[in-house]
Amino acid sequence: MLLTEHLTPLTFEDRVTKILPGWSIKNCEMNSHWARGLQENYCRRKNVLRTHPLSQEVPCTLERRMDIPANRSTFLHAIVSNHPNRDWVLVCRVNGTVQKTVTVNEELTKAGWVSVTFDLTPFASEKNVLIELENKANDWNHEDGYWANLTISPSQSSPRVASMYSVEGAVAELFPGWTIKNCEMNPQWPRGMRADYRGKKNVLETHPLSQEVPCTLGYRTDIPTGKKTTLRVVVSNYPNCDWELVCRVNGVIHRVVTIDEKLTKGGWATGTFDLTPFAGRKNVRIELENKANGWHHETAFWASLTIQSR
């Protein structure tokens, strides 16, 4: 983790409003040695909120009120992190009642960020609902809470967990070690983690940046000698549309596959790429491109990315 302590000269309330519009804060411990508020950089994310419980008994609380719409699903998505090698308890309360509790630690965040989802659908049609997210202490040892994004996302079906600002967090959560670049971000079609698609839970949704520039997932690894190494991907397409899956190794095209209905049969397809020819090489760069071919819904869905050496 990269820690940066430099904070912008805003009031504490301004910092909360700047990062998490519509939310307010109470009971945050203010310590001149450990500054709370807007942190410009933490774990490769810019402008995140840093909080801490007021005491061992009193949590720091982020809260807001809202009307929960009827006849559709509503989810609250929190992208959070922890202090290196420390943990804290994230408690979600709705109208004062605990709805869900999650321990935010290294195992969960993998030294990065994690997206935690809270289902608000049981409160559908209720007005002025109080939502509280607590940064709660458990052993009083650096229970700093880091908040990158809070999104409330109503959806009639297949709610998308990640907002347009959290596609990197979705990749980090679903495919540790992989990175993403050049993913088109469209408020009408938010990319990132999707809770359900074609029978699979928690999949990644991407789209090319343009007709010429593909969205790219990248990974670096050493390819061992004396073993067969294979990259296995499980992917799907938007209904009745297609996209090009391009695998590059060290910048050179290794294989191209068209992901369409014929291949996925309205579900998912498994593709394998043989990396054995690169045995013995270090820091090999693997790139998987979600490439456009006709600029008509070239949305890609990724359920699994695994590399195995046997």
In the listed set 129, 155, 181, which residue is the last one of a domain according to the structure?
Answer: 155
Give the C-alpha separation, 20 to 42, whole Å.
16
Order of strands across the sheet that contains 200-206: 192-197, 200-206, 300-309, 229-237, 269-274
Query: In this structure, is residue 7 part of a structural domain?
Result: no
Query: In this structure, is residue 247 part of a structural domain?
Result: yes
Name every residue whose Cβ is closer than 8 Å to that of residue 228 and which is 6 or more positions away in sequence.
274, 276, 309, 310
Mean pLDDT for the stretch of residues 286-300:
95
As a 3-state breakdown, the chain gives helix, strand, coil percent values, each rounded to 5, of 10, 50, 40
Give the distance from CA 237 to its chain's centroid: 20
Give the C-alpha separation, 29 to 281, whole Å.
50
Residues 198 and 297 in one domain: yes
What is the count of structural domains for the chain?
Answer: 2
Bridge partner residues of 60 (DSSP): 135
Domain that holds residue 292: 167-309
Is 162 a residue whose pLDDT tops 70? no
* Listed residue (202, 209, 115, 199) closest to 163, CA to CA: 115
Give the C-alpha separation, 183 to 300, whole Å.
11
Give the C-alpha separation, 175 to 180, whole Å.
10
Contact status, residue 209 vs residue 155, Cβ threshold 8 Å: no
* Listed residue (183, 159, 157, 275) closest to 225, CA to CA: 275
Average pLDDT for the chain:
87
Residues 126 and 202 in one domain: no
Query: In this structure, is residue 5 part of a structural domain?
Result: no
Residues 147 and 223 in one domain: no
Residues 182 and 53 in one domain: no
Q: If 0-12 CB within 10 Å is exposed, 13-18 middle and 19+ buried, where does residue 240 land?
A: exposed
Half-sphere exposure of 298 (CA within 13 A, CB side): 23
Residues 179 and 134 in one domain: no
Residues 137 and 179 in one domain: no
In the listed set 102, 133, 155, which residue is the last one of a domain according to the structure?
Answer: 155
Contact status, residue 207 vs residue 186, Cβ threshold 8 Å: yes
Query: In this structure, is residue 3 part of a structural domain?
Result: no
Residues 304 and 178 in one domain: yes
Residues 125 and 174 in one domain: no
Is 262 a residue whose pLDDT tops 90? yes
- Residue % of the chain over a pLDDT of 70: 88
Q: What is the pTM of this model?
A: 0.52
* DSSP assignment string, 275-292: -GGGTT-SSEEEEEEEE-
> If DSSP codes are grouped into helix, strand and coil, which group holds residue 18?
helix
Residues 147 and 172 in one domain: no
Interval 38-83: pLDDT, tens: 888 887 677 889 999 999 999 999 999 999 988 878 888 899 999 9
Query: In this structure, is residue 302 part of a structural domain?
Result: yes
Query: In this structure, is residue 4 part of a structural domain?
Result: no
Give the C-alpha separation, 203 to 227, whole Å.
30
Residues 102 and 209 in one domain: no
Mean pLDDT for the stretch of residues 275-283:
96
- The secondary structure element, H or E, covering residue 174 is helix 167-174
Using alpha carbons only, what angle is made at residue 273 by residues 184 and 206, rounded to the nearest 5 degrees? Answer: 15
Residues 82 and 174 in one domain: no
Is 36 a residue whose pLDDT tops 90? no
Q: At 35, which CATH number? A: 2.60.120.260
Residues 144 and 203 in one domain: no
Where does the pLDDT of residue 7 fall: very low under 50, low under 70, confident under 90, or very high at 90 and above? Answer: very low
Give the C-alpha separation, 180 to 222, whole Å.
20
